[in-house]
Structure 1
Amino acid sequence: MEVLDFITLLIIMAAFFTLINVKYLKLPSTIGLMLLALCLSLFIIGGEYVFSMLNKLATNLMTEYDFSKVLFQVMLSFLLFAGALDVNLNKLGEEKWPILILATVGVLISTFIVGGAMYLTLPYLGLPMDFIYCLLFGALISPTDPIAVLAMIKKTVVSENLESQIAGESLFNDGIGVVVFLSILGVAAGGVENFEAIEVVKLFGIEVIGGIALGALLGYIGLRLLKIIDNEHTEIEVLVTLSMVLGGASVADFLHVSGPLAMVVMGLFVGRKGRIAKVDEDAAGEYVYKFWHLMDEAMNAILFILIGLQIIVINYEMDYFYAAGIAIVAVLLARLLGVGVPLSIMRIKRHFPKYTIRILTWSGLRGGISVALALSLYKENHGFLIDAKTVDIIITMTYCVVLFSIVVQGLTVDKLFKLAAKNNKPIKGSTD
């Protein structure tokens, strides 16, 4: 199937599943679409002998295209830029230290806790894995998915400051998480015996600082161009923002800096919420934001359908699912500690509302980024960066954690938000 045909099929499915969800299921969009795609996948798998041609066609489609490339090179750039457009800059500035610490220290704490837990428990299932690959799994599963998180908080009742913490952390820890993953992958590829800390720190610094600097430069240029256009030609404003995203992603890839961080910073430059200067707030016309809102919704729909369909190509071994059950518990525990430890230290000098730790823990959804990172372990020549069994274990654990995260956590977190809003009486120094 040609690429255009595949995209057409995904759009048709997105439209059809959205209609079913809105009319009958009435679930949050991301959850409803993924569940419908998951049901379709299970139907195709279950009817393997009755609908063998359908099963073969679906399997070929999901293995023919590199899902990780589709997400990283196209969808992620669009979704992160669109998500950053809606972030309140003023509130983001007020919460900058919690966001920065959670997006860096929190991700690193989670990576090592998950990696250590899986290294210690997997041998009991007869699935021993080298520590470096357990860390690799910890790195790809630790960052919360900004696409899933932003889609969730749009539908919930939450204070502006807490919303900024959740949104800001998810946007930035995504970029940090990808850099940590690439750093560990580089160590694994080069051999642990050849590990040099200075090289990893150098790579980390170039990716992070370079990505932020590139985003700031392109964001500043884009904002200046939008001011010059001054809302007179909407179509040119849209083309300018499209050029920023597509061109920025290509430049980031060429310079080997973090594209996700560049997209977030560019979106913050162009966004209008929380602006002090009126001229900056009105730089982009209303139709620019409507266009990116449409892109956000459409890409979200396609992304979560792709996640639901990924079950078709998962290797089914019962021991892998036992490992996935342990991984779910390990990821939740790591998230609790990754959030709780930094916030408990920070509460010495600042106040956090009650339930903050619980909310940040349970609202830390995982999504397409984790799945794409896991699938990126496959080489384009259909070989492996690491052995096939290890890759299959990592992909199965990743998919199950993502599924639990989006369905179970995504469907119940709103109740936690409402409970916090109802019972949250400010207590000085309380974080939980």
Structure 2
Amino acid sequence: MPIHLSPFDAAAILIVLSAVLGWVNHRYFRLPGTVAMTLMGAVASLCVIAADAVFQGSDISAQVSRFLDDIDFHDTLMNGMLSFLLFAGALHVDIEHLRRGRWQIAILSTIGVAASTLIVGFGLKALTGLVGMEAPLIWCFVFGALISPTDPVAVMGVLKTARVPPTLQATIAGESLFNDGVGVVVFYILLASAVGGEAFSIPHAGEMFVVEALGGALLGAVIGWIAYRAMKMIDDYSVEVMITLATVMGGYALATALHISGPVAMAVAGLIVGNPGISYAMSDTTKDYVLKFWALIDEVLNAVLFLLIGLEAVVLADSIGLLGLGLLTIPLVLAARAVSVGAPLLFWRRLLPLPLAFPVMTWGGLRGGISIALALSLPEGPMKDVILAATYMVVLFSVLAQGATIGGLVRRSVKRASAAVVD
């Protein structure tokens, strides 16, 4: 008899698992948190799949799949976690550094995402033809859109401890904040064309993009300013923490109702609260509580998110034949990232030194939960299985391989760049 969990039960299981695995990692392995959670979740998934293969009649995989279905990864992330994660990330970005790199961030998070979408789309079309699958080009572009947004959660922690120029830090942070929102908008535009069967129209897509992205930025500026003014009028840390919560939850719900980009709105609101809000509207006590509260929210949600990514392997147990195609997409996605980042960096060599910026931004362009959530939101059909398998392999490689080695790469790149300056 299947057991259907309540939202509280599901949340309790995930928090307990995250706490236990986090303790094990801290006590014995000392891996970066995102890498550890994803790896342990994936290993647990493989153990479940192996147990079903060894013990005939076992339905552990089915029970885990039902558990993940009850959670609804897409709805949980896109309408829940994402708003908190983007706001928390934006709180720590220095708006002055962001302003200096505004053109770089704007180009990377718009033209860069579009270029990556096209490169990955045409590349996947060629790969599917190579392995005997004829995937429609529009669906290949859908995959390109969902895999292009980067999620450099693990990278930002390393950048804070390494001697990376502030402009490069701000560029990476700003790109990660805004290309999430842009990528989600592009994904839904392409998905509507793929599902509806209508010819893709660049003018119509451009109009939708402007409305959603600029509308989200405007809403974020308004609610961020309201939160700033409200906090400036009082001095009570508990109320001010609640105001930041209200900004995130109410603002994202309002953006969804208005059909504009919630991720972009949260990024802008977080920048306003995290800069003029912290500088002019909060006492030292309030600032300490607000920053620590959102740092904790960020840590907990990231632990749960990357654990879920690892556990999603159980869902793909029936699509194991497609994982080979997923492996082939890994170098494709890395190449698309290298081109979409490398080409603009050639023109910014004075501002962002190429020997440092190119390897850090290319290898540090991690893919994460947003890509998985978008893939899971696709309508049922043969293309969903193909795209989900490819997405999972790219995200798993991104978190485990790139996330585990980016720290050493940053330190070596900084050392080489410093030596070059001395010479």
TM-score normalised over the length of structure 1: 0.91
SS for the counterpart of 1:87 is: coil
Q: Distance in 2 between the 1:146 and 1:266 partners?
A: 20
Q: 1:338 aligns with which of 337, 340, 343?
A: 340
Query: Partner residue of 1:268?
Result: 271
Indicate if the aligned counterparts of 2:231 and 2:281 stay in contact, CA closer than 8 A. Answer: no
Indicate if the aligned counterparts of 2:216 and 2:264 stay in contact, CA closer than 8 A. Answer: yes
Deviation by residue 1:153-210 (Cα, 9 ceiling, x = unmatched): 45655332221111111111111111110111121122243x3332211110111000
Q: 2:13 aligns with which of 9, 23, 32?
A: 9
Indicate if the aligned counterparts of 1:353 and 1:424 stay in contact, CA closer than 8 A. Answer: no
Residue correspondence of structure 1 range 2-401 to structure 2 within 5 A: 2-48=6-52, 49-50=54-55, 52-151=58-157, 153-154=159-160, 156-193=162-199, 195-229=200-234, 232-272=235-275, 278-280=279-281, 282=283, 284-317=286-319, 319-347=321-349, 350=351, 352=353, 354-378=355-379, 384=380, 388-401=381-394
Indicate if the aligned counterparts of 1:115 and 1:135 stay in contact, CA closer than 8 A. Answer: yes
Identify the range of structure 1 (160-169 vs 8-17) with the bigger mean alpha-carbon deviation: 160-169
- Is the alpha carbon distance of 1:358 and 1:212 closer, same or farther for their aligned partners in structure 2, counting shifts above 3 Å? same
Deviation by residue 1:141-160 (Cα, 9 ceiling, x = unmatched): 01101545445545655332
Indicate if the aligned counterparts of 2:220 and 2:268 stay in contact, CA closer than 8 A. Answer: yes
Coordinate RMSD, CA, aligned: 2.0
Superposition deviation, residue 10 in structure 1: 0.3
Q: Distance in 2 between the 1:13 and 1:3 partners?
A: 15
**Unpaired runs of at least 5, structure 2:** none
Q: Distance in 1 between the 2:155 and 2:41 partners?
A: 20
SS for the counterpart of 2:149 is: coil
Q: In proportion to residue count, which structure has more helix?
A: 2
Deviation by residue 1:85-118 (Cα, 9 ceiling, x = unmatched): 0111111111111111111111111100000011
Identify the range of structure 1 (48-57 vs 338-347) with the bigger mean alpha-carbon deviation: 48-57
* Identity in percent: 41
Instruction: Count residues with an aligned counterpart.
Output: 414
- Is the alpha carbon distance of 1:286 and 1:277 closer, same or farther for their aligned partners in structure 2, counting shifts above 3 Å? closer
- Is the alpha carbon distance of 1:247 and 1:225 closer, same or farther for their aligned partners in structure 2, counting shifts above 3 Å? same
Deviation by residue 1:28-80 (Cα, 9 ceiling, x = unmatched): 01111111111111111110143824333212111233110000111000011
- Is the alpha carbon distance of 1:245 and 1:97 closer, same or farther for their aligned partners in structure 2, counting shifts above 3 Å? same
TM-score normalised over the length of structure 2: 0.93
SS for the counterpart of 1:127 is: coil
Q: Distance in 2 between the 1:350 and 1:300 partners?
A: 32
Whichever residue aligns with residue 16 of structure 2, its letter is: I
Query: Partner residue of 1:381?
Result: none
SS for the counterpart of 1:293 is: helix
- Is the alpha carbon distance of 1:57 and 1:88 closer, same or farther for their aligned partners in structure 2, counting shifts above 3 Å? same
**Unpaired runs of at least 5, structure 1:** 379-383
- Is the alpha carbon distance of 1:351 and 1:335 closer, same or farther for their aligned partners in structure 2, counting shifts above 3 Å? closer
